Structure 1
Amino acid sequence: MKILITGAGGFVGQLLAEHLLNDNHTLVLVDIFEPAVPAQAQNKQNATCHKADLYEDAQSVLSKDLDVIYVFHGIMSAGSEADFDLGYRVNLHSTLRLLEGVRATCPGVRWIYASSTAIYGQPLPEMPSEATVPTPQGSYGTQKVMLEYAINDYNRRGLINAFIFRFPTISVRPGKPTQAASSWMSGIIREPLQGKESILPCDDDFKAWLCSPKTLIKNLIIALSLEKDCMEPHIRQVNLPGIMSTVKEMLDALREVGGEEAVKLVKREKPSQEIKAMLDSWPICFDVSKALKLGFVADDSFKTAVEDFKASLEK
């Protein structure tokens, strides 16, 4: 298949691109800077890389022979809250322009959109599901849910073959900290396992909904083979499986994998009121029966994600 990935220079885009190249797909990698072809990928000749501002010229990255578009580009949660104009420009308006480009150039393409559990806000039932009305308490979640409705409408009209996946927080992410309010959920594992200090802004009883990178990629690849009629045409949202973990359980996993010295590198710090309000608004557990019925998979434990990250460092 010929597959376009937007936001391809980011962590998820790079990891997915590596797997798709290894499966011998043809890729178009796009970001606001020219993204790299993943270093560990096979079949590198199957990838082309483009620097593009989708707000200014979404049409330039599209072609009639595209089979699939993974839409990953965006300004993360804390970044969207800090810069209102930039968040709306990148997260909402550039994606609407990409949708219009698809309508003109490659209607019917499989569109796989990275949404987020940040679309939810309080008050919430104990186990939110796709039937729970989104009430986001931040600009990032608001931008995501606005696009969910637009994507559903384009799908209903037959302009795209859409799948909307609400990601859990992905941990443990390699690389550098991001502008996500949840960035510390990787940082308290990633940095200590490399001998560096990391900031923890929450108490031990804080709970989070998490998914490992390995499991996320498995589910994103499963999306390539979903039947168009597996969901109603105007309801394409899926809450991807995650696992609930407390901060204490995260630190216990770090202790088991990295030892007490690693845990000592985690330093407590109070978050800003804005970030605390955002974190506290997010749900901590979901009804994922829809996702499981569609064939998506879940992690066994958070410790497995920590072990996977440590193994990647040893490589």
Structure 2
Amino acid sequence: MKIAITGAGGFVGQLLAEHLLNADHEVLLIDIFEPPVPSKASSKSSLATCIKADLFSDSNSVIPSDLDAIYIFHGIMSAGSEADFDLGYRVNLHSTLNLLETLRNKCKGVKVVYASSTAIYGQPLPQWPSESTLPTPSSSYGTQKSMIEYAINDFSRRGYINGFTLRFPTISVRPGKPTQAASSWMSGMFREPLQGLPSSLPCADDFEAWLCSPRILVQNLLHVLTLQRDSLPSHMRQINLPGITASVKEMLEALETVGGRQAVDLVKREQPTREIKDMLDSWPIRFDVTKAMDLGFKRDEQFVDAVRDFKDSLDE
């Protein structure tokens, strides 16, 4: 298949590109800077095309007409969208709408996999929100994601694209540098201490979060390629990806299990800003994922496995 990834220079884009290239797909890696070919897929670099582009203005010139599928990952993350209102709307909303318009005109029927977020939800919520729960986002990021969800539903209903919207849990443990996500600390509290570096923790022990490991995420991203158009109603293309709920206390216990007490001692408590605290507190922590499980998506068994996965990657 010929598959494009936007935001391909980011962690999720690189992880997915690695697996797609090693499965012998032709992959277009697109980002605001020229993204690299993943190092673990360097032997398949002939199948990769790396493209620097601003999708707000350049989507028509970089999207080929023979595309089979596209993963839309580019965006300004949650805290970044709150900090810069104009940039968040330009990247998360308007550039994605421009991209969808290009796909409608050049690649009718193309499979579109859109990375949405549980940030589309806001309080008050039922105990187990599902895809039928009304989104009431309490952040610019969640609002922008919700708007694109509705556009993908409409484009799919009209037959312009074959859209699948995946609402991601928080992905932990992410390697690399901290991001502008309000949830960045949920990876940082493992990533830095397991490398002997200090990290910050802005929440109390009883704070809970909805999490997914990178290993399970990439399995689910690849699984979407196997789904048929009629696996979802034409006007309701959202899927809440499976996750696992863990408290800060359980996260710290997982860190101690994998890294020892010396790793836990590197985690330093701090007070979040009011804006970040309100955003974190508005996110739901448990979901009804019946739809995803019925469609064959996978879930983590226990959170400590995600911490072990990251520690093993360091050892490699």
Match of 2:31 in 1: 31
In the alignment, what sits opposite 1:17? 17
The answer to whether structure 1 residue 94 and structure 2 residue 95 are counterparts is yes
Cα offset, 1:286, TM superposition: 0.2
Matches within 5 A, 1:294-313: 294-313=295-314
Supply the AA of the counterpart residue of 1:78: A
Q: Secondary structure at the match of 1:275?
A: helix
Q: Which residue of 1 aligns with 2:250?
A: 249
Sequence identity, in percent? 69
SS at structure 2 position matched to 1:234: coil
User: CA–CA distance in 1 between the matches of 2:294 and 2:35?
Assistant: 35
Give the deviation of 1:112 after TM superposition: 0.3
Pairing 1:134–2:154 present: no
Return the alpha-carbon distance in structure 2 between the equivalents of residues 143 and 155 of structure 1: 19
Is 1:236 the counterpart of 2:222 in the alignment?
Answer: no
Instruction: Tell whether 2:261 aligns with 1:260.
Output: yes
One-letter code of the match for 1:40? K
* Aligned-partner SS, 1:180: coil
Question: Displacement, 1:94?
Answer: 0.1
Q: Tell me, which stretches of 5 or more residues in structure 1 are unaligned?
A: none
Whole-angstrom CA distance in 1 between matches of 2:104 and 2:308: 43
After TM superposition, the score normalised by the length of structure 1 is 1.00
| Cα displacement (A) at 1:116 | 0.2
Amino acid at match of 1:18: E
CA displacement, residues 16-58 of structure 1 (integer Å, 9 cap, x when unaligned): 0000000000000000000000011141110000000000111
Q: CA deviation at 1:311?
A: 0.2
Counterpart position of 1:210: 211
For 1:144, the aligned partner's letter is K
Q: Which amino acid aligns with 1:8?
A: A
SS in 1 for 2:190: helix
Deviation, structure 1 residue 64: 1.3
Aligned to 2:113: 112
Unaligned stretches of 5+ residues in structure 2 = none
Please state whether the residue corresponding to 2:39 is helix, strand or coil.
coil
Partner of 1:122: 123
Q: How many corresponding residue pairs?
A: 315
CA deviations on 1:89-120 (whole Å, 9 max, x unpaired) are: 00000000001111111111000000000000
CA distance in 1, matches of 2:97, 2:301: 37
Q: Does 1:164 align with 2:165?
A: yes
CA distances 1:128-174 after superposition (whole Å, capped 9, x unpaired): 00000000000000000000001100000000000000000000000
TM-score normalised to structure 2 length: 0.99
Residue-by-residue CA offset, 1:236-281 (whole Å, 9 max, x unaligned): 0000000000000000000000000000000000000000000000
Give distance in 1, aligned partners of 2:172 and 2:252: 13
Whole-Å separation in 2 of the counterparts to 1:287 and 1:44:
40
SS of 2:149 mapped into structure 1: helix
How far apart, CA to CA, are the structure 2 residues paired with 1:145 and 1:66?
Answer: 25
CA distance in 1 between partners of 2:302 and 2:60 (Å): 42
Partner Cα separation in structure 2 for residue 118 and residue 67 of structure 1: 29
Equivalent residue number for residue 5 of structure 2: 5
Q: 1:69 matched to which residue of 2? A: 70
SS in 1 for 2:147: helix
